[in-house]
C-alpha cells in the first residue's frame, strides 16, 4: 500500500472539507508514492514514539505535528528530531484533526457512544462548505446513467440526504461543424432534440471529479455544463448532543464519565442536579459553552475549560465536566484505527497510547 492509498481512505472516512480553514491536516511528512508496511494512529507523535516505530510506518495523528511555518528543522528540538526520525525510517505522518472531530464515527461520535448517549444529533461550530450547482443538459436516454455517475462522484448531497437533483424538460439545438461526429443527427445541420436539464449541488472539493464523471458518461462530444457558485452551505458540526437512558444526578454522571473514559474529572454544578441531556466535544472546546447551552444541554463534557468559560457556563446554569484532553479524544483514535484497518487491511494497524501521566487528565 502507498501513502496515496491511505490518504484516499482517510478522505472517505474524514473528508478534508469538514476541516476548519485554520487547521493543518493531511500529509505533513513523507511522499504520496511511498510504500508503507504498517500503520498506527495516535493523538500525538512524541519523540519516544517516533523512535519506537518500525521502518515504513505511516502515522495518522490527531494533533498536527507541523502547525506554524517551519524556518528550520533542528534535530536538537523535538519536532525536528521527529521529522528526521520518520524520514530515516521511510515513514510518513498524516494529520486528521477537525475533519475527524466532525466526521461520522469520529472523535465526538465515539465520545458520545462511550458515555452511552442515545438520539445523538450534531451541535456547535462547523466549517462552511463551499459549493457549486451543476446544470448539465442531457438526452433523456442518458439521463439516469449521467445522474448516477455524478452522484457516485459526490454530487447531489444535501445534509443527510444524497442523490438529490432537479430535472426539467426542454428543447436543445446545435449544429456541428464539418469534422464533428455528433451523437445525434449530422454535421453541418441544425438539430433540434429533446433534452433534460439536470441540476445537482456539488461541494467544491468534488467539482473536478464530478465534471470528469459527467463527461465520461455523457454521449455528446461537447456536453453543455453550467457551474454556479452558491452561498457557502452549512458543514458538519463538531459537537454531539444526546440523552442518557435515564435521568441521574450530576455526581453519578461524573462517576459514569470517569469510569468509561478512565479519568478523574473536574465538575461544576450542584451534585444533585438532574442530568439527562448531554453535550460533548473532545479536546479543548470550552469555547462551545454557549452552543451547548443553546442546544438545551443539562451538562457539557469536554477535555479542557478556561476560567472564563466556566464562569459563562455557571451563569447559564449549565453544568460542566472537564474530563481531560487525552481521555476525551484517545477513544476516537482507537476508532480511527479500526476504520482504517477495515478500509486498508493489507497492512497491520495499531493505536499508540500515551505514557502514564501524559493523558491530560486531572487527578
User: What's the pLDDT score for residue 274?
Assistant: 98
pTM, 2 dp: 0.81
User: What's the pLDDT score for residue 355?
Assistant: 57
Same domain, yes or no, for 122 and 269? Answer: yes
Same domain, yes or no, for 52 and 68? Answer: yes
Question: 195-226 pLDDT, tens per residue?
Answer: 999 999 998 888 999 999 999 999 998 899 99
Mean pLDDT of the chain: 93
User: Is the pLDDT at 163 greater than 90, yes or no?
Assistant: yes
Same domain, yes or no, for 201 and 249? Answer: no
79 sits in which H/E element: helix 78-88
Same domain, yes or no, for 220 and 285? Answer: no
Same domain, yes or no, for 77 and 205? Answer: no
Is residue 357 very low, low, confident or very high in pLDDT (cuts 50, 70, 90)?
Answer: very low
Beta bridge partners of 240: 122, 280
On whether residue 180 sits in a domain, the answer given is yes
| Structural domain that includes position 270 | 104-126+237-323
293 sits in which H/E element: helix 289-294
Last residue of a domain, one of 196, 213, 229: 229
Sheet containing 131-138: order of strands: 166-174, 191-203, 131-138, 225-229
Same domain, yes or no, for 248 and 174? Answer: no
Same domain, yes or no, for 262 and 293? Answer: yes
On whether residue 363 sits in a domain, the answer given is no
Same domain, yes or no, for 108 and 93? Answer: no
User: Is the pLDDT at 360 greater than 80, yes or no?
Assistant: no
User: What's the pLDDT score for residue 221?
Assistant: 87
User: Is the pLDDT at 183 greater than 80, yes or no?
Assistant: no
Is residue 181 very low, low, confident or very high in pLDDT (cuts 50, 70, 90)?
Answer: confident
Mean pLDDT of 133-162: 93
Same domain, yes or no, for 216 and 291? Answer: no
DSSP string over 224-279: -EEEEE-PPBP---SEEEEEEEEEEEHHHHHHHHHHHHT---EEES-TT-EEEEEE
CATH of the domain at 245: 3.40.1390.30
Q: Is 316 in contact with 290 (CB distance < 8 Å)?
A: yes
On whether residue 197 sits in a domain, the answer given is yes
CATH of the domain at 188: 3.30.70.120
Last residue of a domain, one of 181, 202, 229: 229
DSSP string over 92-146: EEEE--HHHHHSTTSHHHHHHHHTT-EEEEEES--PPBPEEEEEEEE-GGGHHHH
User: Is the pLDDT at 160 greater than 80, yes or no?
Assistant: no
CA distances from 323 to 44, 57, 144, 284, 329 (A): 18, 31, 51, 10, 10
Same domain, yes or no, for 298 and 210? Answer: no
The angle subtended at Cα 120 by Cα 118 and Cα 125, nearest 5°, is 150
DSSP 158: B
d(CA 153, CA 137): 18
User: Is the pLDDT at 64 greater than 60, yes or no?
Assistant: yes
% helix, strand, coil for the chain, step of 5:
35, 25, 40
Mean pLDDT of 295-313: 97
How many structural domains is the chain composed of?
A: 3
Question: 243-273 pLDDT, tens per residue?
Answer: 999 999 999 999 999 999 999 999 999 999 9
Same domain, yes or no, for 149 and 176? Answer: yes
Same domain, yes or no, for 122 and 136? Answer: no
Amino acid at each position: 500500500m502507498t501513502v496515496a492509498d491511505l490518504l484516499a481512505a482517510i478522505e472517505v472516512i474524514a473528508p478534508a472539507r469538514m476541516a476548519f480553514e485554520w487547521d493543518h491536516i493531511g500529509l505533513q511528512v513523507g511522499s504520496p508514492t511511498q510504500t508503507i508496511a504498517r500503520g498506527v494512529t495516535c493523538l500525538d507523535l512524541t519523540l519516544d514514539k517516533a523512535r519506537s516505530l518500525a521502518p515504513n510506518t505511516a502515522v495518522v495523528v490527531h494533533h498536527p505535528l507541523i502547525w506554524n511555518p517551519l524556518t528550520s528543522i533542528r534535530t536538537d528540538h523535538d519536532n525536528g528530531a521527529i521529522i528526521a526520525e520518520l524520514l530515516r525510517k521511510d515513514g510518513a505522518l498524516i494529520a486528521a484533526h477537525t475533519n475527524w472531530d466532525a466526521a461520522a464515527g469520529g472523535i465526538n461520535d465515539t465520545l458520545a457512544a462511550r458515555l452511552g448517549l442515545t438520539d445523538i444529533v450534531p451541535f456547535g461550530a462547523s466549517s462552511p462548505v463551499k459549493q457549486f450547482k451543476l446544470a448539465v443538459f442531457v438526452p433523456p436516454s442518458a439521463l439516469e446513467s449521467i445522474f448516477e455517475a455524478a452522484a457516485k462522484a459526490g454530487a447531489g448531497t444535501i445534509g443527510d440526504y444524497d442523490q438529490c437533483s432537479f430535472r426539467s424538460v426542454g428543447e436543445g439545438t446545435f449544429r456541428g461543424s464539418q469534422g464533428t461526429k455528433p451523437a445525434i443527427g449530422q454535421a453541418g445541420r441544425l438539430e433540434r432534440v429533446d433534452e433534460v436539464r439536470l441540476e445537482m449541488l456539488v461541494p467544491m472539493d468534488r467539482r473536478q471529479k464530478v465534471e470528469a464523471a459527467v463527461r465520461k458518461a455523457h454521449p455528446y462530444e461537447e456536453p453543455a455544463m453550467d457551474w454556479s457558485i452558491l452561498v457557502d452551505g452549512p458543514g458538519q458540526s463538531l459537537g454531539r448532543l444526546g440523552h442518557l437512558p435515564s435521568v441521574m444526578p450530576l455526581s453519578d454522571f461524573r462517576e459514569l464519565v470517569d469510569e468509561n473514559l478512565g479519568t478523574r474529572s473536574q465538575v461544576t454544578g450542584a451534585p444533585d442536579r438532574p442530568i439527562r441531556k448531554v453535550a460533548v466535544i473532545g479536546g479543548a472546546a470550552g469555547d462551545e459553552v454557549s452552543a451547548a447551552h443553546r442546544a438545551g444541554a443539562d451538562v457539557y463534557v469536554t477535555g479542557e475549560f478556561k476560567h472564563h468559560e466556566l464562569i459563562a457556563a455557571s451563569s447559564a446554569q449549565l453544568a460542566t465536566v472537564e474530563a481531560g484532553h487525552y481521555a476525551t479524544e484517545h477513544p476516537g483514535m482507537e476508532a480511527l484505527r479500526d476504520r482504517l484497518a477495515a478500509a486498508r487491511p493489507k497492512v497491520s494497524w495499531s493505536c499508540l497510547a500515551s505514557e502514564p501521566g501524559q493523558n491530560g487528565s486531572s487527578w
